[in-house]
Structure 1
Amino acid sequence: MLRNEARLLRREPATVIWAVVLPLVAATVLANVPATRSPNADLGGWSFSQVYLPTLIILTASLLSVQALPALLAKYREDGILKRLRTTPASPTNLLVALFVLMGGVSAAVALLMTLIPVVSGVPFRGNGLAFGLVVVLTLVSFTALGLLFAAVSPNSRFATGIGTVAFFVLAFFAGLWIPRSLFPATLATVADWTPSGAASRAMLDSMQGDWPAVQSVFVLVLYAAVCAVVATRMFRWE
C-alpha cells in the first residue's frame, strides 16, 4: 500500500514541485549566493540562508501534511475507497499508516537534503545536530496530526482543500516565510510561539545556535500533536 501511495504521489506534479523541488532549489540558491550566505546585522547576525532553513522545512511539511493529506483522505472518503477497504485485508488503518509514513518520510528526506546543501556549499552546520533532528521529527509528527484532524472534520474534498490552504498560509506566515522571525515585533513573536509553525521555527533556530530548544517550543509541538491526534481519532469517519 505504501508503494501504491508513493506512485500516486508521483502522479501529482504540482504537489511534488511545490513541496519538494522548489524548497530544495531555494535552499541551494540561498546557500550559494554570497549576499544570502553571509551574516546580516538586521537578522541578528544570522544569514538569510540560516534564517530560512527552518522556514523551508516547515513549508514542505505544511504542503504535504496539512494541505495535500486532508484533501487526499477526503477524496478517498467521497469516492468510497475507505469504505471498500474495510472489507479487505488492506484496512483503512493500513492506508492511514502508509500515508503517515509517506508524507513524513518525504518531508524528512527533503529536510535532510536542505540541511546538507549549505554544508556541501561550504557553510558548516555548527549547531546542536541531535536537537535539530529531534525538533524536525516532532514538527513532522505535529503537522501530520494537524492534517489528520482537518481530514476528520472535512465533509468533502473541497472543504479539505480550502481549510488546508488557509492553514498553510497561516503556518507559513508564523514560520517567517514573508517576514523573517528575527524581525517579528515582540507581540507577534509571542503569538507565533504558540503556533505549531512558530514553535517549530524557534526550536530549530535555537538548535542551530547550539542550544537545546526552549521548553515552551517543545511543549507547544507536543500539545498540538497529542490534541490533534486524539480529536482526529475520535472524529474520523470512514464513509
Structure 2
Amino acid sequence: MTVLSVNVNKIATLRNARGGNVPNLIKVAQDIERFGGQGITIHPRPDERHIRYQDARDLKKIVTTELNIEGNPIDSFVQLVDEVQPHQVTLVPDAPDAITSNAGWDTIKHHSYLSEIVKHFKNQGIRTSIFVDPVIEMIEGAAKTGVDRIELYTEEYAVQFSKGNPEKGVQPYRDAALKAHELGLGINAGHDLSLENIKYFKENVPNLIEVSIGHALISESIYLGLENVVNMYKSRLA
C-alpha cells in the first residue's frame, strides 16, 4: 500500500485568516492520524503565511506516524529542520513569493548545492527527498546527490487527466519511476492529486511509496468529511 501523508497547510491558512487558533492545527493533525492518515506534511514559507515555524516544533511533539517538512533549503529552513528533526525532509525549489510549488529542481545545474544539503540532513539521520519533474535526466541527477527519495511533481499529470488524457499524462511518471527504482531511489509524489485522479496514478506508477496530498484533500473534506476522505484516499492507494 502507498502511504498517505496529509499536507495540513490549508488548515493553517484557515486558522491564520482569523488570527486565532480555530481550526486547531495540532488537533486536526492528531485527528488525521486517528482517522488513518499515515503521515503529516507541512511546507512552511519564510513569511509564515500558513504553516508557522512554531507549528513544526509543536507537530514534532505529537505526530506519531511520520512528519515530513517540505521547503526551499534557505538558512532559516535548514535551521528549523535541524532543530525539529522530522522523519523526512523534502527539498523544494519554490521562490519565497510562490503561491504554491510550480517546478522541480534542476538536479544537474544545482548538483553541488543539493549534494551538500542532502549530506547535511542525512548525517543527522533524516531521510531526504528531492522534488523533481518526471524527466529522466533530472532523476539521474537526483541519484548523484546521494538523496534517499525523489518526489515527483504531478501537476502535469493532473492537467492531462482532467483533459481526458490519463495515459498521456501518466507515461512520463511511469518512466521516471522505473528509472528511479533502477537507480535505488524511493518514489514519492505530490501536487494536484485528488480523489478523482489518484487511483489511476497509483495503478500506473510502479514502486510508489508515498503521496503527499493537501489542497484537494482538505477541499474534498468540506463536502465529504475529513475522516471519510482520508479513508477514501487510503482505499484508492491500497
Is TM > 0.5 for Structure 1 vs Structure 2? no
Q: Which has the larger radius of gyration?
A: 1
Q: TM-score range by the shorter chain?
A: under 0.3
TM-score normalised per structure 2: 0.25
Higher relative contact order (CA 8 A, sep 6+): 1
Q: Compute the TM-score of the two structures, normalised by the length of structure 1.
A: 0.25
Name the structure where helix makes up a greater proportion of residues. 1
Structure with the higher strand share, 1 or 2: 2
